[in-house]
Structure 1
Amino acid sequence: MSQAGARVSLEAVYRTEARRVLATLIRLLGGFDAAEEALHEAFAAAAEQWPREGVPTNPYAWLVSAGRFRTIDRWRRQARLAGALPQLAVLAEPAPEPAMPEAVQDDELRLIFTCCHPALAPDARIALTLREVGGLTTEEIARAYLSPAPTIAQRIVRAKAKIRDEAIPYEIPGRADLPDRIDSALRVVYLIFNEGYAATQGPSLTRGDLCAEAVRLGRLLVDLLDEPEALGLLALMLLHEARRATRVDAAGDLVLLENQDRLLWDRARIAEARALIGQSMGSRRIGPYGLQAAIAAVHAQAPSTDETDWAQITGLYDVLLRIAPSPVIGLNRAVALGMRDGPQAGLVAIEAVIGEGGLGGYHLAHAARADMQRRLGLTEAAQASYRRALDLARQPAERRFLQGRLDDLAVRGAP
């Protein structure tokens, strides 16, 4: 195999397998730091050997084996660990897997539940899992949280230390302990999907690998849990995934919902999602993910933006805001209100949400305000809001869209 071909193959394997390899190495080596170093060593070995020997039939197994045994060899060479050779010998032997349902035999799912242990602070659980399972950078997590990157980094470091110091087990919790960790696990999968659906940085607006991984983990959670919100989350992700390919054009530029080609939406995913919503609603324990899925389903069944049932969407947001209040949900409700009652009502509602605080650094809040101002013919105000959104946006496709809006206003003014 040529050097160039091996490099392309290695990069592809890294994108698809790195997080799963890391999760397995954490189980085999017993800690985050050792596993992360082993992961780097495994890929370094692959970069050296694959051009000569070819890509193995099972890259995941090859990388796990390489990382594991290189780490054990390194530990054996370290004099300070000489007394631990018996323990290292045990690590070097194949570890028997306990009997468990197939859905539970997934190291990433084990890792999610370890990171979501109730001994960790809620924010630390999510930040750690996004970093270790989702592969997000500290900066990406910080943007998702609307928090400074050093704050997120400290949470991750403290969470890892607590897992190590308190010997928190790397395992799926028993049925009795699942309720304490379900909310965090679902939120982590949701945030991984969000980063794939609307990437905070990088050249592409979407990251299909993260979306696919989140959907896979969502299916595992549905199989494992008798939980309506797991059904709702999976339905929500499938509905968004059904139209992800239409969110950008051939040039990679952002396409708004109103301009997307609905004939290209994946109707099979939409049908599966609607069935999941029916199951979730049938439990009479509807939660935030189920409600968001119901909102997405209204969009999915509408022939166009103008024919969308905005009254139903606004009503669903009213319920969602009562059970899971947040500035972002308030903003989304305000936008829906503007679509139902007109841009003046929408602008008033958006201004009220921004005035309550929490969205000053959120570029989409300023973009939503700018859109209502543009629709009302408030050109100068819209330009100021678009400029503020552009200052805050980091994703190239979003920045191009916002700059395009500013250019249109400069040339033609508001519609």
Structure 2
Amino acid sequence: MVADLQQTVDAVWRMEAAKIVATLTRSVGDVGLAEDLASDALIEALQQWPEAGVPRNPGAWLTTVAKRKAIDHWRRLDRLDDKYAVLARELEHHVDESWDPERIDDDVLRLIFISTHPVLAREGRIALTLRVVGGLTTEEIARAFLTSKATVAARITRAKKTLGDAGVPFVVPEPAEYPTRLSSVLSVLYLIYNEGYSASSGERWIRDELCTEALRLGRVLAALLPEQAEVHGLVALMEFQSSRFAARTDADGRAVLLEDQDRTRWDRAQIGRGVAALERAAQAVQRRGTGWGPYALQAALAECHAVAPTAADTDWARIVTLYDGLVQAAPSPVVELNRAIAIAMRDGPAAGLAVIDAIDGLTGSYLLPSVRGELLARLGRHAEAAREFDAAAALTTNGAERDVLLDKAARART
């Protein structure tokens, strides 16, 4: 019974945490305090729900309790006055535990914008928003940045303090301010989605709740900024990637790699939405007379896979060309590694291996040895491939990923 309740609370928190913190931040004007209040409400839920039962609308229940705790907090600080009146009005209007999706969506969007305020350094903006909105742990954020947990924790702490000291208002900025924040907002949505698409830790291959939330927020942002090509590009990318979810795991939850997936299980309606979003990105690029950005380029890459009837029909020549552009637009070791894979598919594994061996910046990541192992296996150098797969398995912190790599190592040895 206790275990079932804990699972229920965990599920509620995963789905509602960002909305709750966003709503509280709008009310109390402090991201750090909002997080603390939400955590206190969660503790109270663990105390009350075993006897009283899970409320009909647990998200609204947690928000209401957190607001009451905010009142208690200000009462202790002798600062009730206006804040008490604001919260009291909100509590009065929400005693029925109603939940307005449009209001909450707007609050989450506000939270993203406040967390990516230009008063913060770029790394701090993204780390804070991933933690508060995405619900990612400091370890997961550290892996996304290829840095240490301590560095990320320090960035988040500094960002919260900076926002508090600066008295940043909890509002969506004016359109003139979008250019100074949009890049960070898109980075946040992209990283949240990536963590969901290929979880960096745990036993789950896909954290679909993160992908769903990132895609939902992307669609909201696209409606807000219809002339921004990169917003449509990111939405298209997420639509294409999400279309494959049903085929990415087998009946036992084990990972199924792209080339082995049953493409009849891909969501063709979602692929159609991706194609439409990418077309909107292309039209926006044409109207503005600008080049393609990194998200639109990645969406075009995903489209190549999405529209290919079989793995053998994939247009690898076009994919290499797109990666050439992506290396120029958003250079990174991971982009270079993916380009090397595309070259291997177009020109053969030896050509790809030569490119991979010149890549710097992936020390300590499982990605480099896993790809080297794949190409070595295709070259018939099975003993070397097995060693690479073993090394990659030792570096990954995701159980499903580890199983795939160990299985490849075993097959290489036989």
TM-score, normalised to structure 1, is 0.91
The aligned counterpart of 2:408 is 405
The aligned counterpart of 1:106 is 106
The aligned counterpart of 2:147 is 147
> Are residue 93 (structure 1) and residue 94 (structure 2) matched?
no
Residue of structure 2 aligned with 1:338, choices 344, 352, 363: 344
The aligned counterpart of 2:388 is 385
What SS class does the counterpart of residue 147 from structure 1 fall into?
Answer: coil
TM-score, normalised to structure 2, is 0.92
Query: Per-residue deviation at 1:19?
Result: 1.7
The aligned counterpart of 1:254 is 255
Please give the per-residue CA displacement for 1:236-273, whole angstroms capped at 9, x wherever unaligned: 00110100232222222221111001000000000010
Please give the per-residue CA displacement for 1:120-162, whole angstroms capped at 9, x wherever unaligned: 1111111111000000000000011110110111111111111
Query: Per-residue deviation at 1:65?
Result: 1.1
The aligned counterpart of 2:97 is none
What SS class does the counterpart of residue 297 from structure 1 fall into?
Answer: helix
Query: Per-residue deviation at 1:387?
Result: 2.4
Please give the per-residue CA displacement for 1:342-397, whole angstroms capped at 9, x wherever unaligned: 111111111122xxx21122211211111111100112321232222122111001
Contact kept in structure 2, 1:6 and 1:54, CA below 8 Å: no
Aligned mates of 1:109, 1:266 — CA distance in 2: 27
Q: Map 1:189-228 to 2 at 5 A.
A: 189-225=189-225, 226-228=227-229
Aligned mates of 1:50, 1:304 — CA distance in 2: 50
Residue of structure 1 aligned with 2:302, choices 291, 296, 302: 296
Please give the per-residue CA displacement for 1:261-293, whole angstroms capped at 9, x wherever unaligned: 100000000001001111111222421111100
Aligned mates of 2:7, 2:387 — CA distance in 1: 44
Contact kept in structure 2, 1:103 and 1:220, CA below 8 Å: no
Query: Per-residue deviation at 1:52?
Result: 4.1
Contact kept in structure 2, 1:221 and 1:230, CA below 8 Å: yes
Contact kept in structure 2, 1:104 and 1:224, CA below 8 Å: no
Aligned mates of 2:172, 2:219 — CA distance in 1: 16
Aligned mates of 1:121, 1:11 — CA distance in 2: 32
Contact kept in structure 1, 2:337 and 2:368, CA below 8 Å: yes
Query: Per-residue deviation at 1:91?
Result: 4.0
The aligned counterpart of 1:321 is 327
CA RMSD of aligned residues (A): 2.0
Contact kept in structure 2, 1:29 and 1:91, CA below 8 Å: no
Aligned mates of 2:121, 2:376 — CA distance in 1: 41
Aligned mates of 1:95, 1:103 — CA distance in 2: 13
Contact kept in structure 1, 2:138 and 2:149, CA below 8 Å: yes
What SS class does the counterpart of residue 252 from structure 2 fall into?
Answer: coil
Aligned residue identity for 1:231:
H
Are the structure 2 counterparts of residues 62 and 103 from structure 1 closer, same or farther at C-alpha, using a change threshold of 3 Å? closer
Unpaired segments ≥5 residues, structure 2: 94-101
Aligned residue identity for 1:264:
R
Aligned mates of 2:198, 2:134 — CA distance in 1: 14
Please give the per-residue CA displacement for 1:325-347, whole angstroms capped at 9, x wherever unaligned: 11111110110010001111111
Aligned mates of 1:155, 1:393 — CA distance in 2: 24
Unpaired segments ≥5 residues, structure 1: none
The aligned counterpart of 1:17 is 16
Q: Map 1:224-303 to 2 at 5 A.
A: 224-225=224-225, 226-283=227-284, 284=286, 285=290, 286-303=292-309
Aligned residue identity for 1:136:
L
Query: Per-residue deviation at 1:6?
Result: 5.0
The aligned counterpart of 1:39 is 38
Query: Per-residue deviation at 1:166?
Result: 0.8
Are the structure 2 counterparts of residues 351 and 5 from structure 1 closer, same or farther at C-alpha, using a change threshold of 3 Å? closer
Aligned residue identity for 2:375:
M
Are the structure 2 counterparts of residues 8 and 363 from structure 1 closer, same or farther at C-alpha, using a change threshold of 3 Å? closer
Are the structure 2 counterparts of residues 48 and 320 from structure 1 closer, same or farther at C-alpha, using a change threshold of 3 Å? same
Aligned mates of 1:315, 1:323 — CA distance in 2: 13
Query: Per-residue deviation at 1:15?
Result: 2.0
Are the structure 2 counterparts of residues 209 and 35 from structure 1 closer, same or farther at C-alpha, using a change threshold of 3 Å? same
Aligned residue identity for 1:94:
R
Query: Which stretch of the first structure deviates more once superposed, 43-52 or 126-135?
Result: 43-52
The aligned counterpart of 2:65 is 66
Contact kept in structure 2, 1:103 and 1:223, CA below 8 Å: no
The aligned counterpart of 1:183 is 183
Percent identity of equivalent pairs: 46
Aligned residue identity for 2:383:
E
Aligned residue identity for 1:335:
I
Give the length in aligned residue pairs.
399
